Amino acid sequence: MVSVSLAHYLQKSVEPNQTGIALTNTILCLCNASKIIAKALCENGLPDNQLGIHVGDINSDGDSQKALDVLADKAIISSFTNASIAAYFSEEQETALLLEPDGKLVICVDPLDGSSNIDNNLSVGTIFSILARKSKIFEPEYIMSDALQPGENQLASGFFVYGPQTSLILTTGSGVASFILKQGEFIQMEWEPSIPNAGNQFAINMSNMRYWSQPATDYIQACLDGVDGPFAKNYNMRWCGSLVADAWRIFRQGGIFLYPEDSRENYHVGRLRLIYEANPVAFLVEQAGGRATDGNVEILKIEPKAIHQRVPLIFGSKDDVFNYESLY
């Protein structure tokens, strides 16, 4: 099979109008940033490259920023040339970073997902969501509304995984494609991500069980009951601590990811962020035939109220997610 570059894929899958050209350029800019992040990560731990150290600032998550969080954020911002982006929203930025007054797009990014894994030699990633700019006035309070569109308005979303491979899962609204970085270029994989309707793996941080709401507790107990339980099948468990790594596995093998609401302080609506983690992943999941919910509402239907708003995130094989929702 002839290998297809990402640039060629975008030429085929994105309308060559002004917004489409901006979208293509933005995705290619993000690819350039991903190469810088991947290279830095490959050399993490050498005396002059300590990317897991805390650098003092506190991000919107209330987490202290690590060196790679800041490096990734800066690499992404610096990559935006000819991208026509009006504003950049990031886990590492308190508010909107205004870029181009005539920009056609806004972009919401988790520059480095899985920071707790930076020094563990485990997969981490970058998650992005691209929306059309609707505001007419190039002022923060107007541009902010562009980032607060429901996830179903996304033009494109994707995530890079920095692991054994540097890879990308991407949707521009007509299915999902996967790419691997090979000799400096993203090349399309043979594999077309499509999530099986039912799986036999669940991904959740079991150490939080005592804090979960009743639906989450009942759902996981049903999985643990295996063939004798209500789902009549045995389950395996995986938890990577990096959303992008768990998501990639679910695109490959099916199953369900759960970060539900719990009773810890600041976790009453879970841990993950709506506009730059849940929405981009939910767009990909729905495009791949899966389902993404907060337990009551489809993620893509939620009207965001704040740029760092958290949301319970349950996604994966649609039958498994329906089983979860039936408990609410």
112 vs 288 by CB, closer to ligand AFP:
112
Whole-angstrom Cα Rg for the chain:
19
Shortest Cβ 115–ligand AFP spacing (Å): 4
41 catalytic per annotation: no
52 vs 175 by CB, closer to ligand AFP:
52
104 vs 271 by CB, closer to ligand AFP:
271
Q: Which of 262, 277, 286, 294 is catalytic?
A: 277
Pairing of strands 256-259, 201-203: parallel
CB neighbour burial string for 247-264, b if at least 16 within 10 angstroms, e if fewer: bbbbbebbbbbbbbbbee
85 vs 284 by CB, closer to ligand AFP:
284
Shortest Cβ 76–ligand AFP spacing (Å): 15
113 catalytic per annotation: yes
84 vs 242 by CB, closer to ligand AFP:
242
Shortest Cβ 2–ligand AFP spacing (Å): 35
- Number of alpha carbons in the 13 Å side-chain half-sphere of residue 299: 35
Pairing of strands 313-316, 85-90: unpaired
Q: Which of 61, 91, 261, 320 is catalytic?
A: 91
Q: Which amino acid is at 148?
A: L
91 catalytic per annotation: yes
Q: Which of 61, 113, 286, 294 is catalytic?
A: 113
Three-state SS across 131-184? Answer: EECCCCCCCHHHHHHHHCCCHHHCCEEEEEEECCCEEEEEECCCCEEEEEEECC
Q: Which of 216, 236, 213, 212 is nearest to 226 (CA)?
A: 236
48 catalytic per annotation: no
The length of the chain, given as a count of residues? 328
Shortest Cβ 190–ligand AFP spacing (Å): 27
Shortest Cβ 22–ligand AFP spacing (Å): 28
102 catalytic per annotation: no
DSSP for 232-268 reads -S--EE---S-HHHHHHHHHHH--EEEE--BSSTT-B
Q: Which of 61, 73, 92, 294 is catalytic?
A: 92
**Footprint on this chain of ligand AFP (rule: CB under 6 A):** 63, 113-116, 205, 241-243, 271-272
9 vs 251 by CB, closer to ligand AFP:
251
In this structure, the number of other CB atoms found within 10 A of the CB of residue 316 comes to 30
Q: Which of 61, 110, 261, 320 is catalytic?
A: 110
23 vs 118 by CB, closer to ligand AFP:
118
Shortest Cβ 114–ligand AFP spacing (Å): 5
110 catalytic per annotation: yes
228 catalytic per annotation: no
Shortest Cβ 266–ligand AFP spacing (Å): 11
Q: Which alpha helices (H) appear in 56-101, and where do they start and end?
A: 67-79
71 catalytic per annotation: no
Q: Which of 6, 71, 97, 112 is catalytic?
A: 112
Whether 211 contacts 52, CB under 8 Å: no
Whether 286 contacts 150, CB under 8 Å: no
Which residues are known to be catalytic? 63, 69, 91-92, 110, 112-113, 277
